[in-house]
Chain A
């Protein structure tokens, strides 16, 4: 079984704080996607990283793909209440089936 472990599992912080979410695996992935999901809604794609060592920025969010393409991190600067949600990483093995393997999830609550 290919597992993607996320840490921390839960995170409650105050508005304005910084945080980092980690997504780790022993498997190599051809790409890794990050999603944010709000209660009762579907996951919304934030970013896809493909190249080992790649760093992508989306406003206050910074995503990094590990050099060996086994792990990734999401850093949020100056968190806001609107960042609250379930953050999911998902690894793709490539190939025609496009099977995504989801991480265990990080539930983030940003208090005003």
Chain B
């Protein structure tokens, strides 16, 4: 099983809403990632969790709040987003070792209105 599952697949939210994106994997991977991707652009790293601890925050605004409740789950809590935050949000996971391969979920298409 090399599957990373993201829910929901699509999300429309207002600028005053609070919502959460969810990601789950059962490959035993102890590194999990959030990426943001705009149309026809490469993914941009937002956060990295290693052994359930936040190891990288790429200067992401505080309106994005990640959470890793256990080794299989990764959440991204959203609050007071702006229209320019509309994008495809991708979750990925990998083993914590050199030259490991990252496996991506299908993404959540987020639209902020």
Residues of A within 8 A of B (CB): 30-31, 33, 35, 40-45, 48, 50, 86, 88, 90, 92, 94-100, 102-105, 107
Q: How many angstroms from the CA of A43 to the CA of B93 in the assembled complex?
A: 12
Interface of B is mostly: strand
Given the contacts A96-B50, A99-B56, A45 and B99 also touching, CB distance less than 8 Å: no
Q: Identify 21 residue pairs between A and B in the complex whose beta-carbon atoms are under 8 Å apart, listed by A's number.
A: A33-B101, A33-B102, A40-B88, A41-B106, A42-B105, A42-B107, A45-B101, A45-B104, A48-B101, A88-B42, A88-B43, A92-B98, A95-B98, A96-B96, A97-B31, A98-B96, A100-B33, A100-B45, A100-B102, A105-B40, A107-B40
Which chain B residues lie closer than 8 Å to A31 at the CB level? 98-99
Which chain A residues lie closer than 8 Å to B94 at the CB level? 98
Which chain B residues lie closer than 8 Å to A104 at the CB level? 42
Task: Flag if B41 contacts A44 (CB, 8 Å).
Answer: no
Q: Which of B33, B40, B101, B107 contacts A86 (CB 8 A)?
A: B40
For residue B81, CB closer than 8 A to chain A, the reply is: no
Residues of B1-35 whose CB lies within 8 A of A: 4, 6, 31, 33
For residue B48, CB closer than 8 A to chain A, the reply is: yes
Which chain B residues lie closer than 8 Å to A43 at the CB level? 43, 90, 104
A108 CB, min distance to chain B CBs, angstroms: 12
